[in-house]
Amino acid sequence: MIKAHNLAFGLLSLIAVSCGDHWGKKPHVTTPYALQVPAGFPQPALPEDNPLTVEGILLGRQLFYDPILSLDSSQSCGSCHNSAFGFTDNGLTYSVGVDGSEGDRNSMPLHNLAWHQRFFWDGRSPSLREQSLEPISNPIEMKEDVLHVVEKLQRQPRYQDAFTAAFGDDEVTPERMGLAMEQFMLTILSGGESKFDRFIAGTESLTAEESLGMQLFNGESNPNSPTPGADCFHCHGGALFTNHRFMNNGLDSVLTDLGLGEVTGLATDDGKFKVPSLRNIAYTAPYMHDGRFQTLEQVIDFYNADVAPNSPNLDPSMVGFIQTHSGGVRGLNLTLAQRQALVAFLNTLTDTRVETDTLYQNPF
Amino acid sequence: MKKFAVSLLAVSLLFASCDPDPKPEIVNLEVVIQPVFGSANSPVVYNSQQFPMGIDTVKFTRNDFIFSDFALLDEQGNRVDIRNEYAFLSLPDRNSFTLPTSITPGQYSGFAFTIGLDSTINHGDPSLWGGTHPLNPAVNNLHWGWTGGYIFAAMEGYYQKDGAEHPWLYHIALNENRMDVVVETPLDLTDFKTLTLNLDLEGFFKAVHSLSPNEDGDFSHSTFDNGLAHKLSENLSQSFRFASLENQTP
C-alpha cells in the first residue's frame, strides 16, 4: 500500500515539475492573418519566421504611425509614407527629417512589398524588418537611438499590452519592433481593384485611349514592327508592374548618385536603382529615385527621347530607347497622342484601396 | 560446436550489416551549369571581361534561363523522362538545381533538357505557382505578363560600337524557339552525383550560325527580327557540353 502510494506521489511530482514553467500561465495564442493575394498576382514568398498575425499587424501599424519613434516625437513612418499619396511623402521631392535636414532620394511607395527581396532605392536592406528600423536612427530622418525608442515604448501601457498580444510577453526589443512593422507593411496591397484589374477581370472596359496606351505599354519599340511600342513591359511587366531588379535607366551621362554601386562597391552597379512598381503611379509623384520629374508626361517624354546612351552601366533593356529610327530620330519616336495614351493607361493602375482600407490607416 | 555456429552466425550478420558501400535504391542528380568561353573553356567573368567575337568584342551581363522536360538517356539512347520538374537559372550566381530522388541507379548514355516550356505551361496561369517555385514570375522575372508566356532565355551584355560600349539584348521566347539540348556522354549514376555541364557562350554567337550584334542586330524580343532569335536559339541548344560527373559532397 505504501509502495503504491509512493509511486503515485512520485508520478504526480514528476508531472508538476515538468509543467512547472507553464503552471497557471495561459498559453500565448495569436490570430493567423491570411494575406488576400489579388487575382492574377504571383504567390508571395512570405517570411517563414514571421507568420502574419492580427496581433502582430496591429502592433506594427501602431509603431508605423507613432511619432514616438523619432527624436522629438514629431515624425512617424507615416509622416513620409502617407497613404493618401500611395504611401509616399505628400508630393515632395525629398523628405525632411526631424531637424529640418533634407534627404537626397524620393520617398518610395510601400505597397506589394510581400513580393520584394531587397529594399530602398539602392537595395541596401535585405529584409523589411531591417528596413523598418533604419529610418529611426538615420541622422537625416528620425535621428533617434533605437534603444532609446525601446525604453520609451516600454513605459507605455498600450505597448506593453500590444507586445504581449503579439509576442506573448511585454518585452520590447528592436527585433520585435522590426518583425511587427514588417508584418504591417506586408499587408499593404495595391491590386485587384484598379480600373485595369477590373478590365482584366472582364467587368469594365478601357477607353480607346487607355487601350492604345496598354498596347503601347506592352509593345516592343522596334523599327521592323508594323505597330509602335513603348517597351515599358520589359521592366514594368507582369501583375506587379515591376521586375524587382536594379537597373540604370539612363537618366544621366554623369552619375551623381551611385545607387546600388554605393552599397556593393562595384563600379558595374553604379547608377542602378530599384525598378519601382507602376501600380498607383498616379498617387506617387514626383518620379524617379531623385524625384526629378513632377508629372507622368515628363516621365514619358524622357523615355521617348532623352535616355542618355552613354550613361555608365545603361541597362541592356534600354537598347530600344536609344535606337535610331529612319530619318535619324532617336528613341521611341512616339507621337504626342501616343504619349498621352500611355499616361491614360498608367492612370488605370490607381487602386484607391490604399486610401480607404481601414487596416492601412492611422490608428491614433 | 553449438557455440561455434552461433559465433559464425554473429560474425556473418556483422559483415552483412556493415556493407561499406551500400548501393542506394534510388538517387537524385544535381546539375551545375558552368559558363565558359570557347573550346578552351575559358572562365567567364560577368560584366567585366570582354571577349573577341568576329568583328565584335562582347561582354556578358545576364544569362537567365528556364529549363524543363528533363530526361536521362538509357544505354540504348531512349529517353527516361523526369516529369514535372522545372529550373530557373541566373548565371553565374544561381547556377545549379537538383532533380528529385526518383532516378533508378544505373548506367546512362546522356542527359537531355529543354530551354523553355511547352505551350500549355508557357501560356498557363503564372499566379498558380508557389512563392519559391522556379516558374513564379516574382522568382524568375522572366514572365511577359499579358503579352503571354515566359522568356526562355534572357541573354544580355555590351559590345563595342563606334568606339563606345553599347548594349545588346536577346530575349528568346515563343513556342517555335524552344531549345532542346542533348548532351551524349556515359553517365554512371549508381550513386548521388553532380553533373557539371559547360555552357560555351561563344557558341551562343556561332555554334550553328555566325552572328554579330553589329551586323545582325543588337536586340531581339523574338518578333520582327528577321529570324535572329530563332538562329540564336539554334546556337544556344548546341552550346552545352559535358564537363564532369562527381559524387555529391555530403
For A243, the domain range is 195-353
Is residue A228 domain-shared with residue A349, that is, in the same domain? Answer: yes
Paired sense of beta strands B179-189 and B164-173, if any: unpaired
Is residue A134 domain-shared with residue A204, that is, in the same domain? Answer: no
Task: Give yes or no for A57 touching B (CB within 8 A).
Answer: no
Contact residues, chain B, for A200 at CB < 8 Å? 146
pLDDT along chain A (364 residues), means of 10: 48 44 73 96 97 98 98 97 96 96 96 96 97 97 97 96 97 98 98 96 97 95 89 93 96 98 97 98 97 98 96 95 84 96 98 94 94
DSSP helix/strand/coil, B7: helix
Sign of the torsion angle spanned by Cα atoms A223, A227, A228, A233: negative
pLDDT 10s digits, A97-144: 999 999 999 999 999 999 999 999 999 999 999 999 999 999 999 999
DSSP character at residue A306: I
Among A43, A214, A232, A345, the residue to mutate for chain B (most B Cβ within 10 A):
A43
Is residue A60 domain-shared with residue A139, that is, in the same domain? Answer: yes
- The residues in B 19-78 lying below 8 A from A, measured between CB atoms, are 47-48, 61-62
Instruction: Please determine, for the modelled complex, whether the ipTM score is greater than 0.90.
Output: no
Beta-carbon neighbour count of residue A331 at 10 Å? 20
Does residue A39 sit within a domain? no
Does residue A265 sit within a domain? yes
Does residue A109 sit within a domain? yes
Contact residues, chain A, for B126 at CB < 8 Å? 42, 238
Contact residues, chain A, for B221 at CB < 8 Å? 220, 222
The one-digit pLDDT tens for each residue of chain B (250 residues) are 455 555 555 555 555 555 556 778 999 999 999 999 999 999 999 998 889 887 789 999 999 999 999 999 999 999 999 999 999 999 999 999 999 989 999 999 999 999 999 999 999 999 999 999 999 999 999 998 755 799 999 999 999 887 888 999 999 999 999 999 999 999 999 999 999 999 999 999 999 999 999 999 999 999 889 999 999 999 999 999 999 999 998 7
Does residue A104 sit within a domain? yes
CA of B178 vs chain A CAs: smallest distance (Å):
20
Q: Can you tell me the distance from the alpha carbon of A149 to that of A136, in angstroms, rounded to the nearest whole number?
A: 9
- The residues in B 220-239 lying below 8 A from A, measured between CB atoms, are 221, 223-226
Does residue A181 sit within a domain? yes
Domain end point (choices A189, A222, A241): A189
Domain end point (choices A156, A189, A222): A189
Helix then strand then coil, % of chain B, to nearest 5: 20, 45, 35
Is residue A170 domain-shared with residue A252, that is, in the same domain? Answer: no
Task: Give yes or no for B161 touching A (CB within 8 A).
Answer: no
Q: Can you tell me the distance from the alpha carbon of A149 to that of A162, in angstroms, rounded to the nearest whole number?
A: 15
What local confidence, expressed as pLDDT, does residue A187 receive? 98
| Domain boundaries of chain B, sorted by first residue | 24-247
Contact residues, chain A, for B47 at CB < 8 Å? 268
Domain end point (choices A158, A189, A220): A189
Inter-chain CB proximity A44 and B131 less than 8 Å: yes
What local confidence, expressed as pLDDT, does residue B3 receive? 58
What local confidence, expressed as pLDDT, does residue B6 receive? 54
Does residue A106 sit within a domain? yes
Overall domain count for chain A: 2
Is residue A112 domain-shared with residue A149, that is, in the same domain? Answer: yes
Task: Give yes or no for B124 touching A (CB within 8 A).
Answer: no
Is residue A301 domain-shared with residue A349, that is, in the same domain? Answer: yes
Single out the residue of B62, B63, B121 nearest to residue B239, CA to CA.
B63
Is residue A284 domain-shared with residue A178, that is, in the same domain? Answer: no
Does residue A5 sit within a domain? no
Is residue A180 domain-shared with residue A219, that is, in the same domain? Answer: no
Is residue A60 domain-shared with residue A159, that is, in the same domain? Answer: yes
Instruction: Judge residue A178's burial from the number of C-beta atoms within 10 Å of its C-beta, 0-12 exposed, 13-18 middle, 19 or more buried.
Output: buried
Residue where the block lists cell 490607381: A350
Is residue A234 domain-shared with residue A292, that is, in the same domain? Answer: yes
Is residue A119 domain-shared with residue A258, that is, in the same domain? Answer: no
Is residue A256 domain-shared with residue A318, that is, in the same domain? Answer: yes
What local confidence, expressed as pLDDT, does residue B109 receive? 98
DSSP helix/strand/coil, B46: coil
The domain spanning residue A108 has which CATH number?
A: 1.10.760.10
Does residue A328 sit within a domain? yes
Q: Which long-range contacts (CB under 8 A, 24 or more apart) does A72-80 make?
A: A72/A98, A74/A98, A75/A141, A75/A142, A77/A132, A77/A135, A77/A181, A78/A362, A80/A107, A80/A135, A80/A141
Nearest to B129 among A39, A43, A234 (CB): A43
Contact residues, chain B, for A345 at CB < 8 Å? none
Residue where the block lists cell 505578363: B145
CB A122 within 8 A of CB A140: no
